[in-house]
Amino acid sequence: MNKHTLSTLECDRLYKICLELMTKIECIRDTYPIFYNNIKLMTNNLGICIDADYDSIDELTDYLKEDWTSIFRIQKKMDDLYISAMDIDKKADINMNIQKLLLQIDEILKTDLQDVKLIAMRKWYTKKELSLIAEKYESIRPYWETQINAIETVGFRKSSIEGVGDDVWTYAGCIITTDEEHLKQWFSKEIPAYSYLSPLDIIRLDNGDKILKSFLLSTHTQ
């Protein structure tokens, strides 16, 4: 199999993508994600290569692929490879854009990483999309009530978090963890399946109770 070496056009395009990715990250937070350093190194090396009239582009290709693949070794897990933000629409926008750029980098480098394919499958909800989930809750309400009625025969657990109903707390305890402290931690954790929002973030939204119930049912049935 022939070794892939970047063309000058690919080198130029990759430089622009990495530079755009760096800029987007720098614009939104003071503490950068771990993978930022790799992208910065790749950008600097690409810039040097371009300034040197693409000298040693074949050698650079190897370094770029190593820097790129090491991102996914450095990350503790794929769930950590995202940008957190307080505003839901901002979080969705920046992560969708970053996701697109990461996919473009992998396409140019032709590394075909499985982790990158998993990134492509992630969903980022806007406030409008979350509102639509709340509206559709009525169609699945009977299923929620069936589940809750079955649990009620055993008995509800008293919620340990203000704003979280006993029914939601008990149901989460059945499908997530029965440990009280671990359950508290789960409600505060940004959940990948919930667009990297924490259950508490969701509960605080308009109709957040309906949105969280929809997510819980979805998690339970998948």
Does residue 191 sit in helix, strand or coil?
strand
Do residues 43 and 13 make contact, with C-beta atoms less than 8 angstroms apart? no
- Residue in the block written with tokens 């997510």: 215
| Domain range for 195 | 127-221
Does residue 197 sit in helix, strand or coil?
strand
Q: Looking at the structure, do residues 16 and 77 belong to the same domain, yes or no?
A: yes
Q: Would 2 be classed as within a structural domain? A: no
Do residues 173 and 183 make contact, with C-beta atoms less than 8 angstroms apart? yes
Q: Would 3 be classed as within a structural domain? A: no
Q: Looking at the structure, do residues 65 and 133 belong to the same domain, yes or no?
A: no
Task: Indicate yes or no: pTM above 0.85.
Answer: no
- Residue in the block written with tokens 């109709």: 207
Alpha-carbon distance of 17 to 39, in angstroms, equals 10
pLDDT tens for the chain, 222 residues: list them.
457 899 999 999 999 999 999 998 888 766 678 788 899 999 999 999 999 999 999 999 999 999 998 888 765 555 567 888 778 998 899 889 988 999 999 999 998 887 888 888 888 999 999 999 999 999 999 999 998 988 877 778 899 999 999 999 999 998 888 899 999 999 999 998 898 899 999 999 999 999 999 999 987 544
Q: Looking at the structure, do residues 197 and 102 belong to the same domain, yes or no?
A: no
Q: Looking at the structure, do residues 72 and 135 belong to the same domain, yes or no?
A: no
The total domain count for the chain is 2
